[in-house]
């Protein structure tokens, strides 16, 4: 689909394994927008805290680390990047040790406030520099960018989410891989839901259920929401 030259901010929310990151990147590429993975910011902070030997349950220390975090986010959708103090951590933040501990950081309310501030700054900068952004993560549609032009909750059944994450982590979705993935996905969603709402759409947010959709169908479904919403506002 094509879009007008007017700035466009698209916020995509949803639980783990719903396809937020991959679908958001594809949508940003199709529309010529920047891409912001806000979850990567929490992962980067988790990585930095662990590198510095901080106790992730020391909320004050982690909050101070968030304020000092020398973070650089590359928002090119075809080659997104994350750097901390000049070090590329794009691969490191996807390691299991980060996935297993990031919730301790993500549920820290002072951390969330600081990273929300940074996320809004990046969204505003992308809107002014390249004409818009697709920002994805937890509570993007309700807290970080409630005034986004398009707000989507990308949802999938627990079974579908576990299957996708198992393929991502283990290369297949056999029973043992799904079982190994269950704790990571379900436990994290349960913990994160104590500080953000991402399982049900808020008022004005459109739900796209990807449970029975493949990747391309999921991308097209979101693009259809964008077209319908922007067309309504035109």
**3 state DSSP class of 35:** strand
191 is in an annotated binding site: no
Cross-sheet strand order for the sheet of 8-13: 34-37, 132-136, 8-13, 150-155, 206-209
What is the structure's pLDDT at 26? Answer: 97
Query: Which residue did the predictor score with more confidence, 166 or 120?
Result: 120
Whether the per-residue pLDDT at 220 is higher than 90: the answer is: yes
14 is in an annotated binding site: yes
18 is in an annotated binding site: yes
Band the pLDDT of 162: cuts 50, 70, 90: confident
Q: What is the pLDDT of residues 41-96, one digit of tens each?
A: 999 999 999 999 999 999 999 999 999 999 999 999 999 999 999 999 999 999 98
Whether the per-residue pLDDT at 234 is higher than 50: the answer is: no
21 is in an annotated binding site: yes
Q: Give which of 207, 210, 198, 206 is closest to 157, Cα–Cα.
A: 210
Domains parsed from the chain with CATH numbers: 8-224 (3.40.50.300)
17 is in an annotated binding site: yes
Query: Which residue did the predictor score with more confidence, 136 or 198?
Result: 136
Average pLDDT over residues 190-199: 53
Rounded to two decimals, the pTM is: 0.84
Residues in contact with 130: Cβ distance below 8 Å, sequence separation at least 6, in sequence order:
32, 33, 34
15 is in an annotated binding site: yes
């Amino acid at each position: 689909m094509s879009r007008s030259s007017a700035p466009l901010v698209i916020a995509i929310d949803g639980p783990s394994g719903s396809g937020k990151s991959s679908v958001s990147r594809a949508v940003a590429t199709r529309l010529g927008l920047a891409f912001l993975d806000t979850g990567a910011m929490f992962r980067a902070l988790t990585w930095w805290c662990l590198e510095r030997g901080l106790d992730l349950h020391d909320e004050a220390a982690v909050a101070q680390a968030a304020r000092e975090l020398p973070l650089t986010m590359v928002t090119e959708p075809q080659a997104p990047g994350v750097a901390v103090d000049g070090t590329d951590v794009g691969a490191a933040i996807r390691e299991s040790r980060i996935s297993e501990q990031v919730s301790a950081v993500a549920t820290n309310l002072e951390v969330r406030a600081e990273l929300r501030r940074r996320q809004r700054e990046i969204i505003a900068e992308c809107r002014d520099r390249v004409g818009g952004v697709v920002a994805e993560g937890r509570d993007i549609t309700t807290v970080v960018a409630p005034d986004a032009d398009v707000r989507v909750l990308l949802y999938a059944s627990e079974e579908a989410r576990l299957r996708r994450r198992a393929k991502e982590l283990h290369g297949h979705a056999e029973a043992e891989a799904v079982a190994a993935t269950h704790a990571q996905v379900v436990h994290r969603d349960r913990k994160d839901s104590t500080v953000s709402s991402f399982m049900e759409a808020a008022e004005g947010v459109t739900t796209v259920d990807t449970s029975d959709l493949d990747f391309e169908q999921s991308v097209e479904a979101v693009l259809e929401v964008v077209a319908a919403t922007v067309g309504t506002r035109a």
